[in-house]
Structure 1
């Protein structure tokens, strides 16, 4: 056992607190990947939120940029810690045309090295140590570390029932008021409300009307509302003939950036990263959008150590300026994402496994509570490991999502190609049928 007495208190805590509990098994699975010919019994990791569906298409475009263009001189020099001016302009145009559909001022954007860095920086600048961020549960487990490890912001999981299953989020705002009173009674301050849309893990979205109600409530109580649209363009084609019957009456997806443009409030903010929609998590590009000028200035002044490589900014800038390519790219991505969703959702329907109907994201949130030996974290972990050991399918364990309802698991539908996904669903079907036979 390593001696950690030479570390700071935070260092000791970090050394004993893994970022997520499934990483060790994930690395094991990555050493034994399925291949139809050379390793047909190999593992099928579906626990890490990566999007591999259109990488070949994007890689070709990136290679064209680097092959046909001379690297500009500014790439080799220091630039604005919040992002090179030309990169901020290109991103503003991208947001305006493809996501928010309103003009976006480049000066309202600040970049850092990945979504984690953006979340950490924003939390550090908006909240004091010991303050609380409220997050509707179930939600992204690693928010806990992102807001807590360095900013020392506490996480409060707002319990939003999973039933009835729906593709839209809707909850009584009294839940926020109750949370505020509880947090304050415990000596903390309700400082931030974090929403994700489309949601991780449920794939739900928030209607424009509901977003406005939440924004009004937060402004009234001077609470910072942050909407994370890291999956903003990872939307399903719900008009697909195989899907449209499941969405008889739905609200259109409206980016929170559009609402922010109208409100111009210092309490409304927006997160994005290129990791998921573009499938380039390794490029490490996260962005904060806010009309709070003080926050953007603070981000710039404190963010030098979180800056993105100028070379990365230049390459992606050139891609972002090619709107014809982006239009084709996202059309292809939506088609492939929808097909992935159909492969998984139709399998679950055939097995009578409940799941949350999704509007987007890279996931399906499914209810396997039928197979729990006991309704506890221990019971959930036992089933999660059993699925991996008997099928080679590694899904995301529920530990950390913050929900009190037991037996729900997240499955990433974009980490495998469609043929691999069909293999995974065949293995899952066989496992469930055997479990039901006892």
Structure 2
């Protein structure tokens, strides 16, 4: 999940699927970081979970996915909506005309995805790179800064609460300005609706 860098295990997904079925709610699973999982729990798609749930109403389950994170092509803006609901698919088809993917992008990505040797090698290399986050988090730990334990993603959820003069949104903003002044680009927890001031998302992918 963004910004936590964590994934849901199978048991949690099963509970979630059961809950939405009971309450007749729609579940949208964002699986955009699926290829960046580098530690346990391993990646489990909600599509796998509902295969083992014969009484699940699949019309309630929708999956959002994009190549931008897994293949490192954020500028290409190519995404996928996978739904078992005919009405949702029909609506998505109509809406897609407002965000068409260029022929050049389609050709390039089709070539990349069609090369099984490349995709296997790339994803393995990506997971190794993501696992190297420990170099970053260990360095922070040595100076007394801790991060939430994560197993996926291109970022860390960093705890700077001890550096706040008081536990307020205003204090978080003041700390962010100090960090921004020295040209470090991190995102405030408030941007992610964090209920506790002092948490920041820091991306390590381009370090």
- CA-CA distance at 1:209 after TM superposition: 1.1
Query: 2:51 and 2:78 mapped to 1: Cα distance?
Result: 23
Matches within 5 A, 1:129-208: 199-208=1-10
Find the counterpart in structure 1 of residue 17 from structure 2: 215
Find the counterpart in structure 2 of residue 271 from structure 1: 64
Q: Which runs of 4+ in 1 moved over 3 A?
A: 260-264
Count how many residue pairs are aligned between Structure 1 and Structure 2. Answer: 204
SS of corresponding position for 1:399: helix
Does residue 361 of structure 1 match 2:153? Answer: yes
- CA-CA distance at 1:265 after TM superposition: 0.6
Query: 2:18 and 2:110 mapped to 1: Cα distance?
Result: 35
SS of corresponding position for 1:214: helix
| TM-score normalized by the length of structure 1 | 0.45
Instruction: Name the CA shift for 1:302/1:334 in 2 (closer, same or farther; >3 Å).
Output: closer
SS of corresponding position for 2:29: strand
Find the counterpart in structure 1 of residue 79 from structure 2: 286
Structure 1 contact 260–269 (Cα < 8 Å) conserved: no
Matches within 5 A, 1:208-357: 208-236=10-38, 238=39, 250-262=40-52, 263=56, 265-339=58-132, 341-357=133-149
Query: 1:295 and 1:314 mapped to 2: Cα distance?
Result: 27
Q: CA RMSD in A?
A: 1.5
**Structure 1 residue ranges without an equivalent (≥5):** 1-198, 239-249, 417-438
Query: 1:253 and 1:278 mapped to 2: Cα distance?
Result: 16
Structure 1 contact 264–291 (Cα < 8 Å) conserved: no
Does residue 375 of structure 1 match 2:167? Answer: yes
- CA-CA distance at 1:352 after TM superposition: 2.5
Query: 1:254 and 1:281 mapped to 2: Cα distance?
Result: 23
Structure 1 contact 369–408 (Cα < 8 Å) conserved: yes
Structure 2 contact 190–197 (Cα < 8 Å) conserved: no
- CA-CA distance at 1:212 after TM superposition: 0.9
- CA-CA distance at 1:365 after TM superposition: 0.4
Find the counterpart in structure 2 of residue 403 from structure 1: 194
Does residue 392 of structure 1 match 2:183? Answer: yes
| TM-score normalized by the length of structure 2 | 0.92
Q: Deviations over 1:62-116 (max 9, x none)?
A: xxxxxxxxxxxxxxxxxxxxxxxxxxxxxxxxxxxxxxxxxxxxxxxxxxxxxxx
Query: 1:264 and 1:362 mapped to 2: Cα distance?
Result: 33
Query: 1:281 and 1:226 mapped to 2: Cα distance?
Result: 21
Bigger-Rg structure (1/2): 1
SS of corresponding position for 1:411: strand
- CA-CA distance at 1:327 after TM superposition: 0.6
Matches within 5 A, 1:2-17: none
**Structure 2 residue ranges without an equivalent (≥5):** none
Query: 2:112 and 2:69 mapped to 1: Cα distance?
Result: 16
SS of corresponding position for 1:396: strand
